[in-house]
Structure formats: C-alpha cells, structure tokens
Chains A and B, each alone.
Chain A
Amino acid sequence: MPANWSYVIAAYGVAAVALFGYWRYLARRIRALTARQHDAAPHRTAS
C-alpha cells in the first residue's frame, strides 16, 4: 500500500478549514450581535 499522504493531508486540511471557519463565524456573529445590542441600549444622560 503506498503512503497516500496526499489523501490524509487533504482530509485534515478540509476539516481544519471547515472547523476553524465555523469557529470564526460564531465569534464574529456574537461580536456583531453584542455590539448591536449595546448600540440599541438607551444611553444615560446627566440630569
């Protein structure tokens, strides 16, 4: 059986891109939603 390292690298490469991409997507979405909530919150004014 040949080494077939190219297949191993391809499988792990696809997984790394997919999992890291999803990780980044979640982090960005949470940041955007938190910022939106923060902007929408009423600001206190001195009276």
Chain B
Amino acid sequence: MLAAIGVESLDDLFEQIPESLRLGRPLDLPGGLSEAEVYERLATLADRNADAEAEVCFVGAGMYDHYVPAIVDAITSRSEFLTPYTPYQPEISQGGLQVMFEFQTAMSELTGLPVSNAGLYEGPSSVASAGYLAIGATKRRRFVVSRGLHPHSRETLRTYSVGYGAEVVEVGLEGGLTDAAALAAAIDGETAAVFLQSPNFLGAVEDVEALGAAAKHHGALLVVACDPMTLGILKPPGEQGADVALGEGQPLGNRLDFGGPSFGFFCATEEQIRRMPGRIAGETEDLDGRRGFVLALQTREQHIRREKATNNICTAQALNALGAMVHLAWLGRRGFRELGELLARRTAYARQRLAAIEGVELLHEAPVVREFALRLEAPVPAVLERCAEQGIAAGYPLGREYPEYEDGLLVAITERRTRAQIDALAEALEVAVAAERRAYPAGVG
C-alpha cells in the first residue's frame, strides 16, 4: 500500500502535521484490553448502579420505567437499522425513510397536529427548538413559560435564549396548575410563544385550551409539551389550540439508559411546516412511478441553507424513533388506549393509598394520569433513604428543582408497577415517615 502511495513509511503521510504539533508520545491511557476484559470492567461498573431491576422504581420526572417489548430490541438491533448513516441516498434507504414516515404519522395521530418531524435529540432541547421556530414565525423575542414545564426544559430554553436574544418570563403554579390569571397577565403583543406542559411536572392535567386563549389573543404561538403515554386518553394538544406539540419520547420504546439516548418528538400545524427543525420524510415516486420516500423540505436544513437554516441539527435519534414506532405498533390502537387507562387507574389507586398515610398528604388535587405529587411531614431525602433500604425507589424529591416544594415527593406509575408493589411502597413510606417524624418532630425537619 505504501508503494502504491509512493511513500517509504507511514510517517511520511503524517509529515503534513508540523513537527511541533506531533504528540511524539503515546496517549496517557491504558493499553488495549481483550473483549472479555472490557466486558468484565464495564459489568463491574454497572453493578454499582441501583437500577430498576435492583429496586422497584417509582421515579419519573420525565423518564419512566415502562416495559419495552422484546420485539423492539429484535428490530432495532438489526444491522440494517443499526448501522446506516442518515438517508442521504434514498434509493438504498427506503427502509429507514419509510420508518420515519410511519413514525411521523403516529406522532401526528397522538398529538392531533398534521405535521411531525422524524425526531429531535430529546425533550428539553425540543422545547428550545420550538422557541427558535416561534421567533421565526412571529419576529418577536419573548417567551412566557409555565413553572409546570419540566425544570430541565425551562433551563434549556433559558440557555438557548441567550443565543436567540430572547427574554424568558416564568409564571407560577396555583394548586398544582398553571396560575391562569398570572399567565394571561404575562402574555402581551411582544410574546413569541407561550410554553405549557400537560400533564405538568407535578403530574397535573392542565386545561390547555383555556390557558392558551390569551396566547391566541395576542398572536403568540402556543407550545405544549406532553407525555406521549398519556395521549391515548387525554385530549390531544392539536384539539386544544396548540401550534406546536412536543415532548420527551423515552416512554415509547426506549429504555431509561440513565437519561439517554432517547428522542424528542415535534409536531406542528401546516402553517409551520417550512419552519420545522430536523429531518422530515416525505412520500414521492421514482422514475417508474413506484411509491417511495425521501427527506423532504431539505431547504430548511443546515447542509443546504447553512446560516439561514431553521435549526442546526444533523445527527438526531432515528434508531430511537424506530423503537417508538415498533412499540406503538405493538400496542396498537386499542392497546395504546388501554395502557393509558391502566396508568390512570393504578395511579388513582396509588394516590389514594399513599395520601391516606399519617404524615402524608396530596400536594395538589388536580386530575392526574400517571404521576402525582405528595407532601411529607418529614424530610424527603431521609424518607427516600429509608425506602431505598427496603429496595424501593419511592419517587423524585421535588426540592431538587422547586425550593417551594422542599417537602414534595413526585411518584410515578407505569404498567410494571403492580398493586402489590404499590402496597409495598405504601407500607415502606408509612414506616419511613413515621420514623423520621419521631426523629425530627414537627417544625425541626
């Protein structure tokens, strides 16, 4: 090979790197390992994590321990889906492109909006991308955001808004729901978009249509973040006046993976189709008239439009979106609705069961689907520690992100959480709260 190139040695090829910039020493990393050794090393690390197999997981806060059917793994691990690049050559990428088209159809059905993209990175950065779309659509630079929007989404929107030159105004919660009067007062003729989440971070189902009226009145876009697993039973954002519906896709066909990779979904009205971020597959025909699929509307995208692109995203989450599509096909029209009903009923049971415990009360009484918030008359981290000793991850401590709910605990239910596990949680929580109240009588914790 060197002879064909016309050089004496490999070093000759690296001569284009100035001598002063050549590393000239091995990297300060260990030597390579055999496959068996790498496996052992990583299995040892994995063993030091308390995962949802090691303890019963009632933690949600945006990602949920759903059962991912075996068929999802079987299909997403196929080389033909796992190892291609983004479908730039559509003639040999029809499989991936058709999956995108099917996925877009599913997300459009779930959200009740006509246009979906093929997926973005994940939830919070999708929220930030909606802000960019809203600036393009309205030429305004002010965002009004409910405090019920996931704290990571609010923070991500703020991070991006520094680049957008946009202002972010936050509106608080009342009784677990967005303060409607405060929201209406915060929206004005300079507002580009209003951001709501339903169910919100506290699990409460918002009246999106009522809250969105002020946005409509001032010509601001209504952006609604939603949990896809609730859309089998909840009115879709598209029927409640949303211009954009988006969210974290992990509950559909994706494992927890300590937070990623998952995907974000992003749907909008027809009016916004040319401002959408990310890839969109579209139907077309080949030379002989056969049905086929391509990346449509590429003139929005960075590789064509460069600095005028509607977003900078390139590599997204195609494989994760495939997992979602297979999971949705597996659930099917009826299964998807039944799962929503199952979540709502088990959650209602758990909510009632836990709120009956001495020293535990509901943080709000708004309707919920699969997650609810409690107040504990005991220090939450200490209670969680005691439950963990019983092999139960009892929930998410709200004080981590909401100083006003230092005593708050957010509990999530999936179809994996059986009645027996919910009862075990109730018992563990009762014992833990009682023990902490004895240790720190009222007013001390």
A binds B: no
B residues in contact (CB < 8 Å) with A: none
A residues in contact (CB < 8 Å) with B: none
